[in-house]
A and B are shown apart, each in its own frame.
Chain A
Amino acid sequence: QSVLTQPPSVSGAPGQRVTISCTGSSSNIGAGYDVHWYQQLPGTAPKLLIYGNSNRPSGVPDRFSGSKSGTSASLAITGLQAEDEADYYCQSYDSSLSGWMFGGGTKLTVL
């Protein structure tokens, strides 16, 4: 059971917009700690997609955006493309566990 809760799967058709939620608690996201998002394509290492809740590293398309409110965060992907099919993970620090936590991951399927 992950401290950060994500839906196991989401899906969307090419060109559509999808969102992936990451729900935490008062000891992590709700405490003001930043949320980061990673994309993991099949058989590869994770890649940083969003850092500091809503910032994109250089080279990440602006189709990807992040937001945070209260004890939750969201990753939005617009103009869905076949190459976006991957697992997505949120990450934050948890003060009660004194460590860094990942969400359980969400598998995005492009229909």
Chain B
Amino acid sequence: EVQLVESGGGLVQPGGSLRLSCAASGFTFSTYWMYWVRQAPGKGLVWVSRINSDGSSTSYADSVKGRFTNSRDNAKNTLYLQMNSLRAEDTAVYYCAGVFKGTTWPNEALDYWGQGTLVTVSS
């Protein structure tokens, strides 16, 4: 059974840092391109970042560029999102998601999703 389990969310003060993890199982993680997508409370989905299968290439939304770092450890089947200089507007549920193999760049769809982890940025 395919599973993506996010962890690391919580309450952090503005300007603080947090590292999210996404543990993958049930599929060959090292061959999948992975995304982070976030959803503010009561709002829609927003793409945050994308990483290729070996971690050598990353992309970021303008809103997080320079503050967030997407990385992966294929030996540990784990995806990470290091979030620095956090702002109130970063408050959201963060999902990790895997690219559907039936699609290719840049027409990538996401078919494996975790349950999400909530990040709250507040003083």
Contact = CB atoms under 8 A, between A and B. Distances in A.
Contacts of B47: 99-102
Given A34-B103, A52-B107, A57-B100, A47 B44 contact: no
B44 A48 contact: no
Interface string A26-47: 0000000110101010001111
Given A51-B100, A99-B61, A93 B44 contact: no
Contacts of A102: 37, 44-47
Contacts of A104: 44
B109 A52 contact: yes
Interface residues of A, number: 28
Main secondary structure on A side of the interface with B: strand
Interface string A97-108: 111111111000
A100 B110 CA distance: 11
A89 B114 CA distance: 17
B109 A51 contact: yes
Interface residues of B, number: 26
A45 B95 contact: yes
A51 B102 contact: yes
Contacts of A21: none
Contacts of B59: 98-99
Interface in A70-102: 87, 89, 91, 93, 97-102
Contact of B110 (A33, A34, A48): A48
27 contacts: A40-B45, A44-B115, A45-B113, A46-B37, A46-B45, A46-B97, A47-B113, A48-B109, A48-B111, A52-B103, A55-B102, A91-B45, A91-B109, A91-B110, A93-B106, A93-B107, A97-B62, A99-B47, A99-B59, A99-B60, A99-B62, A100-B35, A100-B108, A102-B46, A103-B44, A104-B44, A105-B45
Interface of A: 2, 33-34, 36, 38, 40, 44-48, 51-52, 55, 57, 87, 89, 91, 93, 97-105
